[in-house]
Amino acid sequence: MVDLAAEPGEPIRALHLGAGALTLARYIQATRPGSAQYAVELERELLDFVLLKLPMPQGTTLTTHIGDAREALAELDAGARFDVVILDIFSGPDAPAHIACKEFYEEASARLGPDGVLIVNVGDEPALTLVKSQVTALRQAMPDVAAFAETGMFEGRYPGNIILVGTGRKWSPEWTAELLARGPHPATVLTGMDLDKIAG
C-alpha cells in the first residue's frame, strides 16, 4: 500500500507508529530515496538492538522517538503532516484500548496530508474480533476504508494479518487492481458494502 501513496520513486513523509525492525522504513528509503521518516517505538531496547545490528542505509532521514504511539502523536509539531501514517502494533485481540478506538484514528488521520493514507496492520485470530472492531472504528474516523489480505484470512481459516487502509477520499478501483496484481495470491480487497461483512 505504501507504493500507492505517491508516484513511483517520489519521496514521501512517513510516520511509523510501532517501529519494530524498521522494515517498512528501510523499504521506503530503498524505493523512495530522500523520504523523511519518523518512527515511534514503545520498547527502547528493541529499537536500540535493531539499529545496532541493522543500521539504516546511508542517507536515510529517520527521526526516532521512544514512547506511546498516541502520546507521540500529540507531541508532534502542530503543523506536521504525512503522506502515510503506518500503525503496526496490533497482535491479537488484546490491543491497547486507547489506540484501538475511533478517537485515536481521528487524531492519526488529522496528521495526514490531502492525499494521505492511514495504514493499519492488524494481527488477529480466526474469529477476526479485533479486525471487525477496527474496521468499525476506522470507518467512523475516515471517509473511506479498505481491507486487504490473503483471501483465506477473510474466511477465518487461520490467524494472521489483515491490512486496513483509511483514506481521505473515495477508494480508487485502480488501487484495488494494483494490490491484487502485487499479491499475495490469491488476495482479496474489500471496500464499500463488501466490507460490511467483517465490520463489527
Supply the DSSP string of 107-175, one letter for each residue: HHHTTEEEEEEEEEEEEE-TT-HHHHHHHHHHHHHSSEEEEEEEHHHHTT-S-EEEEEEEESSPPPHHH
The whole-angstrom separation of Cα 72 and Cα 65 is 8
Q: Give pLDDT, residue 122.
A: 96
Q: What is the pLDDT of residue 106?
A: 98
Please write the tens of the pLDDT for every residue from 97-132.
Answer: 999 999 999 999 999 999 999 999 999 999 999 999
Query: What is the CATH class of 2-198?
Result: alpha beta
Q: Give the integer Cα–Cα distance in Å for 184 and 141.
A: 28
**Residues written for the chain:** 200
Which segments in the chain show pLDDT lower than 70? 200
In this structure, what DSSP letter does residue 194 have? Answer: G
pLDDT at residue number 157: 86
Domain ranges of the chain: 2-198
Which is nearest to 62 in space by CA: 80, 40, 44? 40
Confidence at residue 200, expressed as pLDDT on a 0 to 100 scale:
63
